[in-house]
């Protein structure tokens, strides 16, 4: 029988969390199932609560961890930098005062907030998730509605467990086809951003669909949803399926027994109905994708690895042309340079985009038994203390160290360099993180966004590379 | 929050697109635990460049920033809004804003006025012709005015109303406490809870 009212995944989630519908252009009030907190965007929110004499409404739906400022070496010592230390101490004080569960440095569940939620089984299909961090979109990989908020909104959620928000428009990004060898989730999302631009997703929640998305593990889906914000979208999501359920089953906070059966039945009702309409649709041929890398200073400035640095004079849009000229100047690159000829100083393997076990496994499988390029520094930073331990139980730490890389403790690290893990002025990195903005990884630092696969091959050859470049070299010799 | 009906200030032309929040305030300034005193952090890396617009009077006394498309993309850091506000900006004009930035701005009394690229270009022209010229962002009339430019701008009705009334979002929401409570009663019991903590 035909469904008279077909709805998208996003519309179903919205309806299920509606506390009150906004009248006359007012936003809707929606309920928040899970509020993730970290040290950078929360101190002023807790202060706000104190000033107005308000409390945290639902500490039991709130969880905090330390990630942005935490060092990735010598974690048993006091944090050396006073401002970082104060910020972390402030979170510890606030968590204690308001009764919020906190995973501190040294705890097995400490790590990047977007790695911790899923590994605990707190992130699940059909829920709403917010965090004072734009990469909260990561959690949408489970079929949840997850988006980043500012500090005023953090305070609002702490006080009320709700948020006034206008419904997002819906966009379907369809990626069909089988991915080629060495092509990963990261390449899909970089290609999507290059296609729709850094503002293309503004006002939208993106639902990633199609056989190429279905074939990805949860870790891969998280990589894609993570960078939805780089396309301008508040949220990205993938409908839950067997892959989702298998991942969740047995996780500490996943429903159990009869609850699991009930939850599963509900989750299976969530995928977008046949015939539901999206406000916008994008189609990408997954089988044609190649490893993708960025050449500029925003995530939309990317090309296939086999390509060249573009010529700004050929860009028609005046704003984009000016941005490209500025980016090439900052990146110290000339138009027409082959991407594969660009040498790097550092390879950073980590961040909420690519620091999960699948990412580390993939990376290790390529560098295993190989030799690192002499003048390249490699830093590998697992997403959480648990991921680090799991990787170590598989010998990944040894592979990284034998290769000549640094095996670090968990945190945001060099993705944004709030801790001492930074690039120097003019240094160039191949980075599995999410932002190639000016100065992001250190003042004057230059970033090329890459997948774990390209990061690994680049660490071996010293210039931006894919594993195919390794085999063609050995065939030639 | 103070009620806002009209903003008048020295217009500052920022001829750049994709000004992400890492440029508005670099991460090193996010380690502070206060909500004010960020004026030194605004565009910190760019201000090292003697040619940067804010290093040229009268733009150092700017009140209305006029920027290229996609202003405030990237990180959710509300510090970007605090830094603009602390420096003295009360409004930003652009053809497109990052969603989270725009939402943060609306909660902190910073007006974000959306106009067409062509209007931004005309205002840049006016300001560069007469540096120090005042730009008016009239929230009540929903108009941007600068010399011969006089045009409507876009802002959502609800944000505009809240800014004009100087309302606190949390106080508005707390009036709906009954509805929140009744929603909570119907919440599936297997939805996640962080407490008591469970481990593997």
Quote the CA–CA distance of A410 and A71 in Å, as a whole number.
8
Asked if A31 lies within 8 A of B195 by C-beta distance, the reply is: no
pLDDT in the model for residue A302: 97
A251, A117 in Cβ contact below 8 A? Answer: no
* pLDDT of A2: 75
At A182 the pLDDT is 95
Contact B104 A199 (CB under 8 A): no
Q: CA nearest A48: which of A174, A148, A150, A141?
A: A150
Q: Are strands A406-407 and A428-431 parallel, antiparallel or unpaired?
A: unpaired
Residue B96 has pLDDT above 60, yes or no: yes
Cα angle vertex B184, ends A164, A34, to 5°? 65
**pLDDT tens-digit map of A157-184:** 999 999 999 999 999 999 999 999 999 9
> Mean pLDDT of all residues in chain A?
97
Q: How far is Cα A75 from Cα A94, in angstroms, rounded to an integer?
A: 21
| Cα nearest neighbour of B45 on chain A | A443
Residues in A touching B107 (Cβ below 8 Å) = 150, 152-153
List b or e across A241-259, with b for residues whose CB sees 16 or more CB atoms inside 10 angstroms: bebbbebbeebebbbeeee
**What are the pLDDT digits (tens) for B127-177?**
999 999 999 999 999 999 999 999 999 999 999 999 999 998 999 999 999
User: Is residue A1 predicted with pLDDT exceeding 70?
Assistant: no
Of the partner residues A19, A41, A127, the one whose CB lies closest to the CB of residue B183: A19
Residues of A with CB below 8 A from B70's CB? 198-199, 232
Using a CB-CB cut-off of 8 Å, the residues of chain A touching B33 are 43-44, 47, 86-87, 90
Measure the CA–CA gap between A461 and A470, rounded to whole angstroms.
8
* Nearest chain A alpha carbon to B30: A40
| pLDDT for the residue A477 | 41
| pLDDT at B49 > cutoff 60 | yes
Pairing of strands A377-380, A406-407: parallel
Residues 182-211 of A with CB under 8 A from B: 198-199, 202-203
Q: Which of A142, A149, A208, A242 is nearest to A8 (CA)?
A: A208
Question: Under an 8 A CB cutoff, do B33 and A86 touch?
Answer: yes
From A129's Cα to the closest Cα of chain B, the distance in A is: 11
pTM strictly above 0.90: yes
A101–B189 CB contact, under 8 Å: no
Whole-number Å distance between alpha carbons of B45 and A141: 35
Count of CB pairs separated by less than 8 Å, A with B: 216
Mean predicted confidence (pLDDT) in B170-185: 96
Query: CA A474: distance to chain centroid?
Result: 34
Residue A356 pLDDT level (bands cut at 50, 70, 90): very high
CB A324, CB A315: distance < 8 Å: yes
Full DSSP string of A85-129: HHHHHHHHHHHHHHT-EEE-TTSTT-B-HHHHHHHTT---TT-EE
Residue A474: what pLDDT? 52
Q: What is the ipTM of this complex?
A: 0.95
Under the banding of pLDDT at 50, 70 and 90, the label for residue A144 is: very high
Which of B34, B48, B75 to mutate against chain A (most A CBs within 10 Å)? B75
Tens-digit pLDDT profile for residues A95-105: 999 999 999 99
Do the chains contact at B31 and A234, CB–CB below 8 Å?
A: no
For residue B23, what are the contacts with CB-CB under 8 A and spacing of at least 6?
A437, A438, A439, B43, B45, B46
Percent of chain B clearing pLDDT 90 (strictly above): 96
pLDDT value at A26 more than 70: yes
Q: What whole-number distance in Å separates Cα of residue A81 and Cα of residue A84?
A: 5
Q: Residues B139, B6: contact at Cβ < 8 Å?
A: yes
User: β-strand A34-37 against A428-431: which pairing, if any?
Assistant: unpaired
Burial (CB count <10 Å: 0-12, 13-18, 19+), residue B199: exposed
Residue A271 reports pLDDT greater than 90: yes
A155 touches chain B (CB under 8 A): yes
């Amino acid at each position: 029988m035909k469904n008279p009212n077909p709805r998208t995944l996003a519309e179903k989630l919205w309806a299920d969390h509606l506390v009150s519908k906004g009248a006359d252009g007012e936003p809707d009030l929606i309920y928040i199932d899970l509020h993730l907190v970290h040290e950078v965007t929360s101190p002023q929110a807790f202060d706000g609560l104190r000033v107005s004499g308000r409390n945290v409404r639902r500490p039991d739906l709130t969880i905090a961890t330390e990630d942005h400022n935490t060092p990735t070496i010598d974690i048993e010592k006091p944090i050396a930098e006073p401002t970082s230390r104060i910020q972390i101490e402030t979170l510890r004080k606030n968590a204690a005062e308001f009764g919020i569960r906190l995973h501190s440095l040294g705890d097995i569940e400490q790590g990047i907030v977007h790695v911790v939620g899923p590994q605990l089984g707190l992130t699940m299909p059909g829920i709403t998730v917010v965090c004072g961090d734009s990469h909260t979109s990561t959690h949408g990989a489970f079929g949840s509605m997850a988006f980043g908020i500012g500090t005023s909104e953090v305070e609002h959620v702490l006080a009320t467990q709700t948020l006034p928000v206008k419904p997002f428009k819906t966009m379907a990004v369809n990626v069909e086809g089988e991915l080629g060898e060495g092509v990963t989730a990261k390449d899909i999302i970089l290609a999507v951003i290059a296609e729709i631009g850094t503002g293309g997703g503004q006002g939208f929640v993106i639902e990633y669909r199609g056989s190429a998305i279905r074939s990805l593990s949860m870790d891969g889906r998280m990589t894609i949803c993570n960078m939805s914000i780089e396309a301008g979208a508040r949220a990205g999501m993938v409908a839950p399926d067997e892959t989702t359920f298998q991942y969740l089953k047995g996780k500490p906070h996943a429903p159990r027994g009869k609850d699991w059966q009930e939850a599963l039945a509900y989750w299976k009702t969530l995928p977008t109905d046949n015939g539901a309409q999206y406000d916008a649709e994008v189609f990408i041929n997954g089988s044609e994708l190649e490893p993708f890398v960025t050449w500029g200073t925003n995530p939309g400035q990317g090309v296939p690895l086999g390509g060249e640095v573009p010529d700004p004079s050929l860009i028609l849009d005046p704003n984009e042309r000016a941005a490209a000229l500025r980016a090439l100047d900052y990146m110290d690159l000339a138009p027409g340079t082959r991407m594969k000829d660009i040498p790097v100083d550092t390879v950073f393997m980590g961040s909420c985009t690519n620091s999960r076990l699948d990412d580390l496994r993939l990376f290790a499988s390529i560098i295993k038994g190989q030799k690192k390029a002499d003048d390249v520094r490699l830093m590998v930073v697992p997403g959480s203390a648990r991921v680090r331990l799991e990787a170590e139980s598989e010998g990944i730490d040894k592979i990284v160290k034998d290769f000549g890389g640094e095996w670090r403790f968990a945190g945001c690290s060099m993705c944004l360099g709030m801790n001492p893990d930074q690039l120097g002025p003019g240094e160039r990195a191949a980075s599995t993180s999410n932002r190639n903005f000016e100065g992001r990884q250190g003042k004057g630092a230059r970033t090329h966004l890459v997948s774990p696969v390209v990061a690994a091959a680049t660490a071996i050859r010293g210039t931006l590379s894919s594993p195919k470049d390794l085999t063609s070299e050995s065939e030639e010799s | 929050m103070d009620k806002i009906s009209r903003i008048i200030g020295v217009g500052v032309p920022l001829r750049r697109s994709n000004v992400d929040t890492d440029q508005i305030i670099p991460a090193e300034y996010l380690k502070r635990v206060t909500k004010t005193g960020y004026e030194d952090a605004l565009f910190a890396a760019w201000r090292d460049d003697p040619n940067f617009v804010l290093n040229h009077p009268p733009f150092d006394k700017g009140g209305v920033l006029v920027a290229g498309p996609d202003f405030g993309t990237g990180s959710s850091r509300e510090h970007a809004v605090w830094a603009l506000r602390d420096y003295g900006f009360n409004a930003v004009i652009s053809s497109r804003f990052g969603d989270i930035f725009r939402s943060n701005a609306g909660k902190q009394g910073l007006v974000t006025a959306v106009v067409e690229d062509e209007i931004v270009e005309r205002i840049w022209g006016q300001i560069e012709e007469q540096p120090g010229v005042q730009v008016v962002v009239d929230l009540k009339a929903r108009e941007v005015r600068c010399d011969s430019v006089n045009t409507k701008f876009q802002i959502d009705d609800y944000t505009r109303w809240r800014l004009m009334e100087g309302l606190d979002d949390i106080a508005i929401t707390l009036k709906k406490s009954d509805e929140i409570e009744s929603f909570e009663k119907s919440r599936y019991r297997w939805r996640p809870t962080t407490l008591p903590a469970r481990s593997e």
